[in-house]
Each structure stands twice: as C-alpha cells, then as structure tokens.
Amino acid sequence: MTATGSADLVIVANRLPVDRVTEDDGTPGWRKSPGGLVTALEPVMRQNDGAWIGWPGNTDEEVEPFVDEGLSLVPVSMSADEVEEFYEGFSNGTLWPLYHDVVAKPAFHREWWEAYVRVNERFAAKAAEVAAKDATVWVQDYQMQLVPKMLRELRPDLRIGFFLHIPFPPAELFQQLPWRRQILEGLLGADIVGFQLAGGAANFVRLVRQRVGHKTHRDTVYLPDGRTVRAAAFPISIDSAGFEELARSETVGERALQIREALGNPERILLGIDRLDYTKGIHPRLRAYSELVRDAQFDVEDTVFVQVATPSRERVDQYRILRDDIDRLVGRINGDLGRIGRPAISYMHSSYPRHEMAALYRAADIMVVTPYRDGMNLVAKEYVACRFENDGALVLSEFAGAADELRQAWQVNPYDINGMKATIMEAARAQPKEVSRRMKAMRKQILEHDVDQWAADFLEALASVPGAHGKTVRPPQKG
C-alpha cells in the first residue's frame, strides 16, 4: 500500500478505477471498472509507484486506502448530500450542459457551487498527502477543476497536469457561469491543461486573457509568479489493439453470428451504442431511421436498427425524462412500422460487458454515432478497432471530437434530419471498395494513436514543462 507522501505519480479522478461487488461467497470485493483511462494509466502507475485517488461510489462508509491487483487506491469519501450537490448538482446539472453547448439548460445554484469547492478541497488535500516530493499529479476531468490551484498552494513542489475529457465551451457560453473566474484560476494551477481538441485549448487561453487578464501567446499563459501554463490538445483514444484482439476471438465471432440470428438474419444491421444522455442525439437518429423505413428506403424484413442505451444518472430528473421520451418514441415507431417478429428498432436499456460490445460491433454493418456535442466519443473508435476485415460503415456526427481524426467516416449534422437520412442511405448503398477504403484509413489512425500513446504524450509534455519564464508581466485584473 502507498504510504503517505510516497507516490511518484498520483491520478486524481472523481471515481476510483474499481467498482464495489459482492463475491460468490457473499463477501464484499472490488472489480476493475471498464474503460480506457484505467487501461492506459495502469502500466504507468505500476512503473512509477503510483496511487489513484477517487470516490469509491458509496456514501455509507469510510474506506481505508487499499491495494487491488497491485494498484494503490486511495478512497475519498462523500456524504449523500455532497453526491447530490457536488456530483448530480454542480458537475452534472451545471457544468455538463454548459460545456455541451447548452443542449439542456444549466442550473446555477450557490449551494451546489459550495459543495463543489468543498469536495475539490478534500481531493486536493488527499493528493498533497499522498504525493512524494517533486511528484507528478494528473488531475482528471470537469468534476475536479479547482484541484490544480488548491494543490499547488499546498504543494508548490509538484508537477501538476489536468485533462478535460469533455468539450470546453466558447467564451459566449462559459461566461454564463457565475464562478467563471474561479474555474479558470483553478485550472491555471496546472502546468499543462489538456483538452480533446485544439479549439477547446484556444477557448481556454482566450478566456484567461479576457477574464483573468494574464499575458498569453499562442498556447501559453504567462503568470506573474514566473510559471507558464500550456493549454494544448491531447485527443484521447482507446486500447485499439485490445479491442481488435477481442473482436478476432472465436467466442466474439460466434456471439456476433448469434446476434444476427436472434435478429432474424437481416441483410443489414444498423447500431447505436450510447450512454443514455441528452447530448448523444439518440432521438433524431431514431427519427431519421424511422422515416427511412416509412418512406420504404429500408424494409423491416431485411433491416433492423439496434439501439443500446446504457443507464446513466438515473437520479437526475432530466435523465429520467429522457428515458421516458426514448421509450415512448421506440414504442411508437415499432407500433407504426414493425411487423410480428420484425421490430423496426431493437432497443435495450442496459449495460453490457466489453465482450458483448465487441460482438455487437462485429455484427453491425453500419454504426450510427450522432451526438449533438461530444468531447471525443470512444464508441466510434471502438467500432473501427473491431472491423479488422476493413468492412463496416461509420456514420459520425461532425460535433463529436472523434470527427477530427476519423475524417473518412460519413459525417453528419445531427440537427439536420434530412441530411442524416441522406447520409445513412449513402453509407448503406456505398460500394464495398469505398467502404473498405474509408475503414482502412480510420483503422490506421486509431491503431497508431491509441490510449497508451495518448497517456505517453501527455506525461511527456508534463515532464518537459519549462522553468520560470523570466518575463515581466502585470498582475491579473480584478473582477
């Protein structure tokens, strides 16, 4: 177990990389969470005597630091009120919609902000306690934006990085936030502030210049204390080789055939896999498909749309309303257009293990990924990784971060339903040679730029942060 002040690399994230489970014998245990972040950081943590700080997911017990499969994990507790105000409230009721182009209206409540400050202070204090002298601390995502500054005040010897996994909004939207300056100053505690896209980094630098008044040049902010802060894009990726290996396995191949058989061996399967979230554009996608069936472009006898919606934030009202809306829409479409044993849409509101996801990716002829706004969207990359025969078409929203890298996808504007219909049909009618050409190029991109490369690039940039800039800069403006 990592002793106080002994970790050379500390990851600070909202959640620990494990979930609480009950073992076969009834005793409580831990299971590694699915997800690319854990996969990417695990080897780096092992090499650097690392520790991961996060919330264990419960509110009824204090959990002592523990080791799971060789990883040092340091839990930070939260009360039920803090989960409601910090996590469901400020993180997901204020920041999430604000950072996703205000697809839903953000709520600004002072008590939510106070909880956000309080929880960020607790995480920063824990990181200060766990980190060795001159250690590297990598803070993850929108729930922890105040941690870099708080941590730097406690431990100025540390090298601090921050990475935002969701989009960073333009000034016109960010300026709505009553605590905009505190968030910007919080992030400026880091040496490197990483974003999914160059546009997010540019938005941040512009806001720092306008709202805080620091001198900036291109991607660099010059602070009065001599520090420089670099804002840059580090597009996150997936364990591409791991997904391909899984997709090539005999069991996944067999399961993909079983899925097709269970769906009636249709000529064509379209697939959507999303967290059930209002940013994901599930509603317009299903509407577009239903209109194609209504207009006889597709026939339920030979085509089916499989939509998997993973449960998400079930305690938040907006998410409960969204679930009811999607349930009603699917019921109406199937009632109007389906036939006995042949629904137009096969809909599952459930979570699936990675093995089943890979089988779905193998089974699907067309993957439809249409978020209104997404920081990256790893589902699109997972689909590409699983198409090792260079077949399968990807229809992708131009507002997903992944669209920057997966330029050979059939790109759509999710707000334009007619345009989406035309593009889905174009993908469905494309010649195998064209489909293969596009998929080959996308596969090259994600195999060369996988999640290990992402982590290595970020940590390398953090390790090479320059010393004091030596420039004379004015103190920041008030207000």
Full DSSP string of 290-336: HHHHHTTSS-TTTEEEEEEEE---TTSHHHHHHHHHHHHHHHHHHHH
Burial of 61 (0-12, 13-18, 19+ CB in 10 A): exposed
CA dist., res. 368 & res. 274, Å (int): 10
Instruction: State which H helix or E strand residue 46 sits in.
Output: helix 36-47
Contact 111, 149 (CB under 8 A): no
User: Between vectors from CA 124 to CA 118 and to CA 125, what angle results, nearest 5°?
Assistant: 90
Q: pLDDT, tens digit, for every residue of 151-167?
A: 999 999 999 999 999 99
Residue 337 pLDDT: 97
Residue 467 pLDDT: 73
Residue 111 pLDDT: 98
Residue 5 pLDDT: 73
- Name residue 91's amino acid: S
Residue 114 pLDDT: 98
Strands 345-348 and 366-369: unpaired
Which residues does the chain have with pLDDT short of 70?
Answer: 1-4, 34-36, 470-479
Whole-Å CA distances, 477 to 61, 179, 209, 214, 224: 44, 16, 10, 8, 12
CA dist., res. 28 & res. 14, Å (int): 21
Q: Is the pTM of this model over 0.85?
A: yes
Report residue 378 as tokens: 């790893």
Report residue 315 as tokens: 């305690």
Contact 269, 260 (CB under 8 A): yes
122: CB partners within 8 A, 6+ apart: 76
Instruction: State which H helix or E strand residue 171 sits in.
Output: helix 171-174
CA dist., res. 284 & res. 281, Å (int): 6
Task: Determine the 3-state secondary structure of 22 from DSSP.
Answer: strand
331: CB partners within 8 A, 6+ apart: none
* Sheet of 366-369, strands arranged across: 345-348, 303-310, 268-275, 366-369, 393-397, 410-412
Q: What share of the chain is helix, strand, coil (3-state, %, to 5)?
A: 45, 20, 35
Residue 4 pLDDT: 64
Contact 128, 199 (CB under 8 A): no
CA dist., res. 81 & res. 85, Å (int): 6
The pair phi, psi for residue 398, each rounded to 5°, is -70, -10
Q: pLDDT, tens digit, for every residue of 364-382?
A: 999 999 999 999 999 999 9
335: CB partners within 8 A, 6+ apart: none
The pair phi, psi for residue 255, each rounded to 5°, is -65, -35
Residue 42 pLDDT: 81
Contact 462, 228 (CB under 8 A): no
Residue 470 pLDDT: 65
